[in-house]
Amino acid sequence: MTRHGFTLTARGPFDFGATLRFTEGWPVTGGLPADGRALRFAYCAESDWLPIGVTVTAAPDGVAVATTRAAGPAIREEVARILSLDVDGSGFAEIGEADPVLGDLWRKSPGLRPLCFWSPWEAACWAVIVQRSSMLVAARIKQRIAERYGARVLVDGEPYAAFPPPVTLLEADGLGLPAQKEEWLRGLARAALDGVLTTEHLRALDPLEALAELRALPGVGPFSAGLILIRGAGAPDAFPGDEPRLFAILREAYGLPQDAPPAAYRKVAEAWRPYRSWASFLFRASGYGGLGDGR
């Protein structure tokens, strides 16, 4: 099979090894590859909704990317977004210097950037599937849906199931989910096909406007909206308005009172601009005080 390749250069600190280690605790990715040197996945590219396999390995100042089909500018942008290499991170260290709590955390893993879902569409589906479920159970359900309705792509000789595109799930039934969740997924599929649930659309909006628009979608609450915008579209400077786990982590890290209002957390996050999403990700990924959930 013909392989196509390109490189992505990081602006600012980046540690691909830290990205690989993060996948060990993030069931959505299917776990760390056996060799511990590459991130391999298959997905339906948002630019054309066709399946593509991707292999990412470390390279000087960035990563080397191999794909199973020709990768034009749109695919390159998608992979850069997935790895948060579409953002200049050279100023993030300065944010840490101004905030000692964040700075201590950053120095433990100075090159870790958010690893995003393969698309906002897939992030939205995950947000529905995982509701009132554990991450491990939700990951198994999501994988079953991919294997039943998605395309199989050979990545370095191994088959990977790509999560199906919106047009496929719009007509699918028997997903192994409650009827309400299946209806929500069909509503999300319509939103994706209408261009609402896309990186280009969501990143073009002010974060507060994007969050409000996402909350209007079926099955999407405040937490899900933040997940889709931050870890789906890869918006680097958004702060979720209601995320109990993150708030619990920040309470412990900054010594906030138990009854601190949402405004108190937003005030802490103001010091992280223009990397509020990145800082929030570091706190979640760190398991600070044993409270992190790996998302």
The CA distance from 137 to 121, in Å, is 20
Q: Which pLDDT score is estimated for 243?
A: 83
Q: For the chain (length 295 residues), average pLDDT per consecutive 10?
A: 85 93 75 73 94 95 95 95 97 93 91 95 96 88 94 93 95 88 96 94 96 95 93 94 87 94 94 96 73 40
Q: Would you call 152 helix, strand, or coil by DSSP? A: strand
Q: Which pLDDT score is estimated for 295?
A: 45
> Residue 231 to residues 18, 126, 202: CA-CA distances in angstroms?
17, 11, 12
Nearest alpha-carbon partner for 210 in 184, 241, 164: 241
Q: Which pLDDT score is estimated for 44?
A: 96
Q: Which pLDDT score is estimated for 180?
A: 95
Q: Which pLDDT score is estimated for 30?
A: 55
